[in-house]
Structure 1
Amino acid sequence: MLRKLLRIALITLLSGIALSVLLVLSLRWINPPVSALLLERQVSAKLAGHSYDSKLQWTPWAALPDHLKMAVIAAEDQQFANHHGFDIAAIQAALVHNQSSTSSIRGASTISQQVAKNVFLWSSRSWPRKALEAWFTLLIELLWSKERILEVYLNIAEWGPGIFGAEAAAEYHFQTGAPYLSNQQAYLLAAILPSPLTRSLQPPSAATLQRARWISRQVQQLGAGHYLNKLKQQPAWTTKLRETIEDILSF
């Protein structure tokens, strides 16, 4: 009986692994029509007896403006081009901060981790969810290019109530399309990403304007176009796997 249960558990585990690999691999070429976060918002609203209008319209990589790509990298994950899904130094710094501070919690999620969570998982914090997040982060780093990861992020990120993706965000906040965002508009959108449901751009607060100015300076320091060129320099998946394992072991 025990052997049969173990066999069933092993088959279930291997099936789950295979399905997750196939799912992530397919999204290397297929644009996700919806995200898990959007579905979660819809279900939560329905259970609460509220309506939930959402907008998500895909904008391909080539049409997304470089200054928006760089603004989001500068705001959310400046090591995006260099890490393999996990920013070990940021995680260690966050652990030290959170252990010593009672007034604020510092996060250390990379853009890759946010894509893994928002596309495939649920938003509540728990160890099972974090374990699955790590697994999906590893998969997308191995199977997608950095450009693809950022493209998906920019198209599924939440930028307001029911506002998902750069196109919906540009229309909602600035009445324009994502390809036509100005530099300042891109910096303002990046500035509200940590709390898009509580930060408004109509009009932007002094804190949001200050953060947008900081993002502008960070974009210049990162090298803008030079930084985006680094995203094209993709090592072989075997090299990425080895370096990812080394990162995890070093932590």
Structure 2
Amino acid sequence: MRRPITDDPIFEEQPPKQASRRRFSLSGWLLGWLRWLLLRALLVAFIAVLIFAIFNPPTTWTIVESARTYPIAERKWTTAEQIAPVMLRSVVAAEDANFCRHWGFDMNEIRRVVASGQRGGASTLTQQAVKNVYLWQGRSWTRKVIEAVMTPMVEAVWTKRRILEVYLNVAEFGPGIFGIHAAASHHFGTTPDRLTAVQAARLAAVLPAPKQRGTAAPSRRSRAIADGAATIAKDGRDRCFLY
């Protein structure tokens, strides 16, 4: 009698194979953790940009640091409507003539600076607003990377008019003189809405070196800024922030 086929050792039931364990990868774990951290950091940065699109920054790291060395003049938030249009044009002429034509980075200016071998000088008003409001002074790569990430966010969420308004309210116009209200009062005994073309040009001329430059007398830089502001008004490059 033939043996049952099931008795054949060939057909004997084999024990189930154990599921292979996934090998732990340190590099994979680190990449996953870094991805999680990066996404959260980007979310926090975007929320910070949204907040100051609506609410005014109460202070900045630069102001806090300066308070250790200089007494801080009284600050009063001044809306764009309360600032003389010539002051808005003057700061654009001084710091970022192509302000209405770029998305946060002036690529033409960056290429010009790289070709000439200069260090710095291509920073836009948007980049300066990001640095002054959210970050710290200095030339560290960490700050530059964060600034590069947040600048397009600010351009996407804030209007050009809001960028100028925030910048003029946190910029330093002298030791302990922060914001256009304090600057107009300290340097010329007036208010931002009453600044003349000459006064606006002199205030803009102290940027971005307010501790080394003054407003007491006209300078070649202030005269060039006044001419530039008039040109911006004439060719319509102020439409993105005046209306």
- TM-score interval (norm. to shorter): 0.7 to 0.9
1:130 aligns with 2:144: yes
Which residue number in structure 2 is paired with residue 249 of structure 1? none
Q: What residue number does 1:164 align with?
A: 178
- Aligned residue for 1:128, secondary structure, equals helix
| Other-structure match for 1:62 | 81
Q: Return 10-19 or 69-78, whichever deviates more.
A: 10-19
Query: Are 2:96 and 1:77 equivalent residues in the alignment?
Result: yes
Instruction: Report sequence identity in percent.
Output: 38
What is the deviation of 1:51? 5.6
Structure 2: which 5+ runs fail to align? 1-23
Q: Which string of whole-angstrom CA distances, capped at 9 and with x for unpartnered residues, describes residues 100-124 of structure 1?
A: xxxxx45110000100111111111
Cα distance in 2 for partners of 1:210, 1:67 equals 18
Partner of 1:40: 65
In 2, the alpha carbon distance for the partners of 1:51 and 1:113 equals 25
Please state if 1:20 is matched with 2:53. Answer: no
Residue aligning to 1:114: 128
TM-score, with normalisation over the residues of structure 1? 0.80
Deviation at 1:29, TM superposition (A): 0.8
Q: Deviations over 1:117-151 (max 9, x none)?
A: 11111111022211111111111001111111111
Q: Which residue of 1 aligns with 2:208?
A: 194
**Partner amino acid for 2:58?**
P
Count how many residue pairs are aligned between Structure 1 and Structure 2. Answer: 218
| Cα RMSD after superposing both structures | 2.0
Contact 1:159/1:193 (<8 A) preserved? yes
- Which segments of structure 1 move beyond 4 Å, counting only runs of 4 or more? none
- Structure showing greater radius of gyration is 2
Counterpart of 2:16 in structure 1 is none
Tell me how far apart the structure 2 counterparts of residues 53 and 13 of structure 1 sit (CA, whole Å).
36
Evaluate the alpha carbon distance shift between residue 198 and residue 90 of structure 1 in structure 2; reply closer, same or farther with a 3 A threshold: same
CA deviation vs aligned residue, 1:62-81 (integer Å, no higher than 9, x gap): 11110000000111101000
TM-score, normalised to structure 2's length?
Answer: 0.83
Which amino acid in the other structure matches residue 91 of structure 1?
I
When residues 51 and 230 of structure 1 are mapped into structure 2, their CA distance, relative to the original with a 3 A threshold, is closer
Tell me the equivalent position of 2:117. 98
Using the TM superposition, give the Cα deviation of residue 40 of structure 1 relative to its aligned residue in structure 2, in angstroms: 3.1
| Cα contact 2:100–2:160 (8 A) shared by 1 | yes
Q: Aligned equivalents of 1:53 and 1:154: distance in 2?
A: 16
* Matches of 2:70 and 2:82, distance apart in 1: 32
Residues of 2 paired with 1:39 and 1:66: CA distance?
Answer: 29
- Structure 1 pair 117/212, CA: closer, same or farther in 2 (3 Å)? same
Residues of 2 paired with 1:55 and 1:163: CA distance? 8
